[in-house]
Structure formats: C-alpha cells, structure tokens
Structure 1
Amino acid sequence: MAPGTKVTASVSAACAVLLLETAARSLPPLASPLTTTLVLRLVQLTIMAMLLKGQFTQGELGSLSPNALRQAALKGAAWSLGFGTFVGTGALILFLAGINPLHLVRMPLPRDQSTLALFFLTGGVVAPLAEEFFFRGIVYRLLRPMGVIPAIFISTLLFAAAHAMHGAVPVTQLAGGLLFAVAYEKEGHLAVPVIIHGAGNTALFTLSLI
C-alpha cells in the first residue's frame, strides 16, 4: 500500500470514529450507557479494521500470522507483568506508609452480576481493542513522522484528554498512555498494547471488587 493511501485510510478511519463518537454523545440514548458504549466500540472497531486491513503487515500494525500473534501475546504479558510488579511495589510502599492504595484505584461497579460481566467484557476486552486501534494504530502512527518523542507525548495527551472527567487530571490514563505508546514503538505490534491495556483495566476492575 502506497504511503499516501495509508495516510488517507488512517485519516478516514479517524474521522469515522470521531463522527460516531460525536453522534453517540449528541443523540438521545437508545439503551443503557454501558450497552451503548459496547455497541459503539464494536462499530468503531469494525470500521477501523475494514479501512486499515491492508496495513496489518510486519512493521506497521503487526502481522496476523499465528506465530506473530503468539509472540505479541507473550510480549504483552511480559510488559503487563513488569508494569504490574512496578505498581505493586509502589502500592506496598504506600501501604507501609499508612495509605490504603485501594482507595486510589477503586471505582463504582455494577451490582447486578450480568451487568458486571458486561462491564468486564466492555472495559477489559472491547474498549482496549478499539482504543488501541485508534490511539496507537491510527493517531500515534500519523504523528510518528514528527519523531518518537512528540508522537508518544501527543498521542498520550489525546488519550488522557478523552478520558478526563469533571476536570480531574487523568493520572492513570497519562501513565497508561505512555506505557502503551512506548510498548507499541518498541515491539511494533498493536496486539502488545492491546494486551497491556486489557490486563490493566481488568486488574483495576478486580481490585475495585475487593
């Protein structure tokens, strides 16, 4: 695929995602917020995959061959384990200092079991897939010609801004965005940040149950 064609496909996919996001926020809800988010992310993911299917080659989004996916999964797991160890060490230090680290990560979760399962599916699987496809697979790669450092920081700021709520600084998303972008730059396969993102979200949700 020619460079100009790749950029056009990426920009088209980004525009489609943003238009759907704007429409979902502007139109009256047709279902619960959780169901709406799940359907929206699935539609966005499908559109991005269709427009960028030709870019799943080694060195771009990453090969879809079984061996490449297996290697990406192992690397994603290794990154997740390393980051989890780092965060766990920090949490232990806070605990020894008399601060309960769980208070910093707890979030409200659905009480109904079926809704909770849907929450884990959406936040632990579908949303990480769609968000990594957009922020790393599209935004980061469009910014990459500017240089690695600008691409990492700008894509991270956009990722964090998309998750900002009530004026609070999205510290978790800033740290996560940096990690996801660095992992993608180093490993060269989109599946790596997807796995780290999904594992991180699932860990946060699980800790919120404690």
Structure 2
Amino acid sequence: MATKPNVKSSAAAIAIVLLMEMAVRFLPQMASPLVTTLALRLLQVLIMTTLLKGQFTEGNMGSLAPEALARAVMKGSLWSLGFGAVVGTGALILVMIGINPLHLVNMPLPKDTGTLALFFFTGGIVAPIAEELFFRGIIYRLLRPMGVAPAILISTLLFASAHAMQGMVPVPQLVGGLLFAAAFEKEGHLAVPMIIHGAGNTALFTLSLI
C-alpha cells in the first residue's frame, strides 16, 4: 500500500482527538455515557475527515468514488465472512472440549430497546468508523514508513491499550487490531477495516444477547 500521510494534518487530528478524550474524562458529563460517547465519536469523525479530506484518494486511505466504495464494502464483507468462519471453527473446538465460548465474549448490554438500539448504532457503526480513521487512517499510515510489520504491531498495541481494562488483557482488540491493519495494508482502502470492525463489534453484541 503506497501511503503518503500529511504529517501536519495528521498531527493536528491526533492532538484534537486526544484533547477531546481527556476533556470527556475530566469535565462533568451533561448526558448519559452512551450519548456522550456517540456525540464524541461523531464529532471526532467530522474533525478527522475535515482535516484529512485530501487523503481520501487511491494510494492513501482509498477513494470515496461510488465504485471504489462498493469494491471496498465487498472486500470488507468477504474479510468479515472469512474471519467469522475462523472464529466459528475455534468456537466449535471449544464446545467439543467442554468450554462454552459465549462466556468469553459476554458483555453487559442495555435492557430497554431504545438504549440497546443506540448502543448497537454507536458501537457497531459510529465507533468503528472513528477508530479506524484514527488508528489505521492516521496512526498506521504515520508508522508505515518504518515497515509493514512495525506499523501493524505498534498501531495494534496502541489500539488495544486504548481499550484495555484494569486487570484484563484486551485479547479481542489485539486480534482485531492485527486484522484491521492487515486488511488495510492488503486492500488499500480504509472502508475495508471499517466494515470488518463494525461487523465484529455487532457480532459480539449479538452473541451477548444470547
């Protein structure tokens, strides 16, 4: 993947996103955490796409032309199906040895329908777009001149660290980060890891309903 990030715009986007994350942590929240997260991610997407608008081209983050987007969505769907097949095979093996794989992915979800729908929208669509813009569209591309392997490894560690919870190793984020970066490197369009990321999150949320 040929990539030539605009360092000045990328640095500005990183600084603004990090400042927004810090502000949300320390300033009083005016709404529920879910609504706050949704608003934050939407604003971050707007800021990053504005600062990086010249980077949405072939050889950078991928063209926004309808044909290019359609190809990227198709490729992202195929990657998602392939990864889903691998995960499904692993889950079947766990069942065969007496381990319930659902216990490994279970997470608390909102109880009422409206909040649950907002949770799926935020975590399954908006958050993956924002995170892929930041971690693959900016961080990975800035690291890419170091080489593919270092860029994938470092961007994945940063991605996983951002999702780490005290006392827990963020295994899904480590695996996901490697997959998202590899898909972006292979396909050359940021929409591909966005599709995989969104599909993965939605699958995890759906399994948690079982």
> TM-score of the superposition, structure 2-length normalised?
0.97
Deviates further, 189-198 or 163-172: 163-172
- Give the 5 Å matches for 1:54-69: 54-69=54-69
Q: How many angstroms apart in 2 are the aligned matches of 1:22 and 1:5?
A: 25
For residues 183-194 of structure 1, the aligned pairs below 5 Å read: 183-194=183-194
One-letter amino acid of the structure 1 residue matched with residue 43 of structure 2: V
Counterparts of 2:92 and 2:29, CA distance in 1: 42
- Paired residue for 1:75? 75
2: CA distance, partners of 1:45 / 1:26: 21
Do the aligned residues in 1 keep the contact of 2:4 with 2:60 (CA within 8 Å)?
Answer: no
Partner residue of 2:208?
Answer: 208
28-37 or 124-133, which deviates more:
28-37
Distance (Å, rounded) in 1 between the aligned partners of 2:136 and 2:24: 22
Q: Hey, what does 2:173 align to over in structure 1?
A: 173
Which ranges of structure 1 fall in alignment gaps of 5 or more residues?
A: none
- SS of match in other structure, 2:58: coil
Residue 149 of structure 2: aligned partner: 149
What RMSD in Å do the two structures reach over aligned CA positions? 1.1
* Aligned-residue offset at 1:29: 1.1
What is the TM-score with the length of structure 1 in the denominator? 0.97
- In 1: Cα distance, 2:209 partner to 2:197 partner: 19
Query: What is the CA distance between 1:5 and its match in structure 2?
Result: 8.0
Match of 2:195 in 1: 195
- CA offsets 1:90-131 (integer angstroms, 9 cap, x no match): 000000111000000010000010000000000000000000
Q: Please name the residue that 2:104 is paired with.
A: 104
Q: Give, as a single letter, the amino acid of the residue that structure 2 aligns with 1:89.
A: T
User: Contact 2:5/2:138 (CA < 8 Å) preserved in 1?
Assistant: no
Output the CA distance in 2 between the equivalents of 1:54 and 1:4. Answer: 11
The SS at the match of 1:108 is: coil
- For 1:5 and 1:74, the matched residues in 2 are separated by 25
Q: State the distance in 1 between where 2:4 and 2:165 align.
A: 36
Q: Quote the sequence identity (%).
A: 72
Gaps of 5+ in 2: none
> How many pairs are equivalent?
208
Between the aligned partners of 1:112 and 1:63, the Cα distance in structure 2 is 39
Q: CA separation in 1, counterparts of 2:11 and 2:145?
A: 15
